């Protein structure tokens, strides 16, 4: 029986900290324990992505710089996905390499197969795509990751928030104001 108050959040080095820390604290405010997992149980380096406004040469894509750190309390290989009520996949550059971790893909598939609440923002979609969980699904993400939805049989919807059954997605943390009320409602309904 899953812990009805435990949400799993996989991360790695270069996790985007706004994508990650906001849900870490926001879900805790609702009484949920957010279990941070990584390739290993250790401290991870977060990053901040932004398009600098004052540079004399404009940026086409976000610039990455160091940010806060966050501790993972469990390694992917040691996760029992049945012990968690929901999954939150945050973004940043971390999903680019985390999507190759077979233990994380196994864990991710569990949440989709069991129809547990799943929230994904930004590059986190790359993990669900690699796990084969987007076939026939509607989802959104940052525009540069549209192919991570469509090349795996999903339907990309360019909206701030897209709900599809037990799955809710947002483009970036900028859309979080519309993400957490419905995600928390999904979690409470599943209790």
Q: Where are the domains of the chain?
A: 3-190
Render pLDDT for 13-43 as a digit per residue (tens, 0 to 9).
999 999 999 999 999 999 999 999 999 999 9
For the domain 3-190, what is the CATH code?
3.40.50.880
Given this model, what pLDDT does residue 2 score? 58
Token pair 């926001």: residue? 26
In this structure, how many other beta carbons lie within 10 angstroms of the beta carbon of residue 75? 16
pTM of the model: 0.94
State residue 60's pLDDT score. Answer: 85
The pLDDT, as a whole number, for residue 39 is 98
Those residues of the chain that have pLDDT short of 50 are none
């Amino acid at each position: 029986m899953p812990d009805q108050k435990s949400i799993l959040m996989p991360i790695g080095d270069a996790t985007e900290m706004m994508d990650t820390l906001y849900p870490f604290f926001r879900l805790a405010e609702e009484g949920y324990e957010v279990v941070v997992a990584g390739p290993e149980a250790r401290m991870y380096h977060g990053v901040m992505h932004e398009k600098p406004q004052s540079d004399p040469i404009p940026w086409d894509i976000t610039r990455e710089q160091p940010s806060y750190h966050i501790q993972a309390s469990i390694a992917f290989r040691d996760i029992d996905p049945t012990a968690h009520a929901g999954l939150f996949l945050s973004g940043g550059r971390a999903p680019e390499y985390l999507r190759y971790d077979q233990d994380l893909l196994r864990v991710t598939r569990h949440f989709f197969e069991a129809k547990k609440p799943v929230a994904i923002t930004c590059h986190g979609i790359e993990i669900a795509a690699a796990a084969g969980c987007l076939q026939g699904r509607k989802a959104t993400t940052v525009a540069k990751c549209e192919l991570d939805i469509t090349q795996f049989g999903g339907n990309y919807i360019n909206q701030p928030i897209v709900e599809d059954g037990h799955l809710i997605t947002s483009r970036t943390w900028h859309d979080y104001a519309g993400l957490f009320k419905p995600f928390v409602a999904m979690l409470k309904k599943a209790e």
